[in-house]
Amino acid sequence: MDLKTAIRTIADHPKPGIMFRDITTLLGDPRAFRRAVDELVQPFAGRKIDKVAGIEARGFILGGAVAHQLSVGFVPLRKKGKLPHKTLSADYALEYGTDTIEMHVDACQAGEKVMLIDDLIATGGTALAALELLRKAGAEVVAAGFVIDLPELGGADRLRAAGVPVQTLIAFEGH
Ligand code: AMP
């Protein structure tokens, strides 16, 4: 069973030139979904992880399953304005303008070891903002896992250069 074939590619979505890597087909395939979660967890089995943090929205689905498998709590990192309690925030650059992600100020305790999860890493802008946010909260990001890497965009290497061990399961060429 090949995880790569479980992912559907939609050309020119959401705009011309982007090959959108759609994981809904993987999520809908029970063997592929379990395999992806198992492979994300496997290098960290037996290591001390206190929480999993997932990036809205696809990182919630995968991160929730990873947290359940590790028997640890889950921290949602959300788009600005969604979380009801006091938040910490981090901005990151988009192609046009900036975006902001937030987490609850009390979602992690200082010194907690956190694993960061999202479906895909491209430029790494989103993941680096998530790292900044978790570090602001005093957490130690001990691992990051992504089902898909777009290595030409360099995000996984940027995250590694920021001191985070990164695990990716499959790679696609291009953007
Ligand atoms: P980046 O911040 O550039 O690493 O982009 C990562 C975020 O954008 C992730 O939350 C992805 O879900 C989404 N993303 C970026 N590029 C793609 C793509 N080609 N297909 C699907 N999602 C993407």
- Domain range for 62 is 47-171
To test ligand 1's pocket by mutation, which of 13, 22, 120 has the most ligand atoms within 8 angstroms of CB?
Answer: 120
What are the distances in angstroms from CA 81 to CA 52, 61, 100? 21, 20, 9
Indicate whether 30 belongs to any domain: no
Condensed to tens digits (0 to 9), the pLDDT of residues 84-122 reads 999 999 999 987 899 999 999 999 999 999 999 999 999
Cis peptide before 14 (omega within 30 of 0): yes
Are 26 and 125 a contacting pair, CB within 8 Å?
A: no
Q: Which residues line ligand 1 (CB under 6 A)?
A: 18-21, 55, 58, 118-127, 155
> Is residue 29, in this structure, part of any structural domain at all?
no
Amino acid at site 46: G
Which one-letter DSSP state was computed for residue 60?
A: H
Amino acid at 124: G
3-state class of 78 per DSSP? strand
User: For position 109, which CATH number holds?
Assistant: 3.40.50.2020
6-26 pLDDT tens trace: 999 999 999 999 999 999 999
pTM for this entry: 0.97
Ligand 1 mean position, distance from CA 59 (Å): 11
Distance 120 CA to ligand 1 centre (A): 6
Catalytic annotation present for 95: yes
Residue 149 lies in a domain: yes
What distance in angstroms lies between residue 109's CA and the mean position of ligand 1's atoms? 28
The reply to whether 117 falls in a domain is: yes
| Residue of 58, 78, 102, 112 marked active site | 58
**Residue 33 has what DSSP assignment?**
H
What domain count does the chain have? 1
How far is 8 from 15, CA to CA, in rounded Å? 16
Asked whether residue 110 is assigned to any structural domain, the reply reads: yes
Mean pLDDT of 70-81: 97
